[in-house]
């Protein structure tokens, strides 16, 4: 009963009740839940959900309220979290020999899962909803925005760091007449992209970004920097700077955190993004010092909330078939991932940053270039 009392008190601070009637209240099926959460924190909460120990009609709103009330910071540090934090301090969890774990756990999953969740281009990062009404339009608006921000022109070569399934490269080649080369740590992503974009001037290479030695007129990176890790931030930007030809621009699209702690979530680290760490604006600024001029920063974090909820709606439509193939526990994990991330963005504890970087500064200023840029049909 003591564990239940503690959990009840914590949830009450966020306006959440145990076995309450509101859609964000949690329904407890196993009383062992309380001890598991107190002992294991975020990891115990997530695994208990996967095991069916509790449910919630609106997981997204549960996480929004919990994040806004900073409930995670009010729990005692668990041994698992302490060990994860210690490893991140004393070792490089994102060193070259470990980067492939993210592919093993997440990116090499059955492509049908991503096709059932994402937009038609399989764009695995935040859409841009300023003038969009649906997921496909939001993702194309984001891809077009990136092309305009770097001033992309026909015939130019772009290096995509962490190219995923090739959404940006395909779009840039089709709409702007660009040539693109992308690196990914996922064999499955490269295989998919090579088949889908075989008729376009795009290349997929399975390698760590630190091993790339080519040149490009521009560099872009979307949803990959979260895998780099603080010990490698400088090496990452040095790699981009080496590849960038004079006059080029680097567009970094990444999730950003408002504070460095807590930057690691044990459940997400185990089940979705091993080695993932969210950077702060300050960490990015420190890492680019002396390498790049920061031309522009835009934060459209609320758009990721809407993107994730659109992904969840897609996933729910296909869930019966996916459950037959992957099992209900896996589907509960996937649904939990989408909802907890949506709640985090809704709370504004995390955001989405667009950083436009130039090696020596854009003569006359970058904003004039953006206003004058126009899409070029391939």
pLDDT one-digit tens code per residue, 223-247: 999 999 999 999 999 999 999 999 9
Mean confidence (pLDDT) of the chain: 90
Q: Write the pLDDT tens digit of every residue in 76-126.
A: 655 555 555 555 555 565 565 555 565 556 677 899 999 999 999 999 999
Options 3.40.50.720, 3.40.50.150, 2.10.260.10, 3.60.15.10; CATH for 100-372 is: 3.40.50.150
Q: For the whole model, what pTM was predicted? A: 0.91
Burial class of residue 290, CB neighbours in 10 A (0-12, 13-18, 19+): exposed
Contacts (Cβ under 8 Å, ≥6 apart) of 197? 166, 169, 170, 173
The distance from CA 196 to its chain's CA centroid, rounded to whole angstroms, is 23
Q: Flag the least confident range among 14-23, 63-72, 334-343.
A: 63-72
Q: What angle do CA 308, 50, 343 make, to 5 degrees?
A: 30
Q: Average pLDDT, stretch 344-364?
A: 95
Catalytic annotation, residues: 341
Tell me, what's the pLDDT at 367?
A: 79
Q: Higher confidence at residue 72 or residue 18? A: 18
3-state secondary structure 59-119: HHHHHHHHHHCCHHHHCCCCHHHHHHHHHHHHCCCCCCCCCCHHHHHHHCCCHHHHHHHCC
Q: What is the DSSP letter of 280?
A: P
């Amino acid at each position: 009963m003591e564990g239940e009392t503690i959990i009840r008190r914590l949830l009450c601070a966020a306006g959440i009740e145990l076995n309450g009637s509101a859609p964000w209240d949690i329904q407890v099926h196993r009383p062992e839940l309380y001890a598991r959460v107190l002992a294991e924190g975020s990891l115990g909460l997530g695994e208990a959900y996967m095991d069916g120990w509790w449910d919630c009609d609106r997981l997204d709103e549960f996480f929004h309220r919990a994040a806004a009330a900073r409930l995670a910071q009010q729990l005692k540090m668990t041994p698992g979290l302490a060990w994860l934090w210690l490893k991140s301090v004393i070792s490089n969890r994102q060193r070259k020999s470990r980067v492939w774990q993210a592919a093993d756990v997440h990116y090499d999953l059955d492509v049908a899962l991503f096709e059932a969740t994402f937009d038609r281009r399989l764009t695995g990062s935040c859409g841009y909803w300023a003038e969009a009404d649906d997921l496909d339009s939001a993702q194309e608006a984001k891809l077009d925005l990136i092309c305009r921000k770097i001033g992309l022109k026909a015939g130019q070569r772009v290096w995509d760091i962490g190219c995923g399934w090739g959404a940006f490269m395909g779009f840039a080649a089709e709409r702007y007449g660009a040539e693109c080369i992308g690196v990914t740590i996922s064999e499955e992503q490269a295989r998919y992209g090579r088949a889908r974009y075989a008729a376009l001037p795009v290349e997929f290479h399975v390698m760590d970004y630190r091993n790339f030695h080519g040149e490009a007129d521009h560099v872009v990176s979307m949803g990959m920097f979260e895998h780099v890790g603080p010990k490698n931030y400088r090496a990452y930007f040095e790699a981009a700077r080496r590849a960038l030809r004079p006059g080029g621009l680097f567009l970094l699209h990444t999730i950003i955190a408002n504070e460095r702690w807590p930057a690691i979530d044990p459940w997400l680290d185990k089940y979705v993004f091993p080695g993932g760490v969210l950077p702060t604006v300050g960490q990015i600024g420190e890492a680019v010092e002396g390498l790049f001029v920061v031309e522009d920063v835009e934060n459209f974090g609320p758009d990721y909330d809407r993107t994730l909820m659109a992904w969840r709606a897609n996933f729910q439509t296909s869930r019966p078939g996916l459950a037959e193939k992957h099992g209900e526990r896996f589907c509960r994990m996937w649904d939990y991932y989408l909802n907890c991330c949506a709640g985090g963005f809704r709370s504004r504890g995390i955001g989405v940053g667009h950083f436009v970087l130039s090696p020596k500064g854009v003569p006359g200023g970058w904003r004039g270039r953006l206003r004058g840029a126009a899409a070029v049909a391939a």
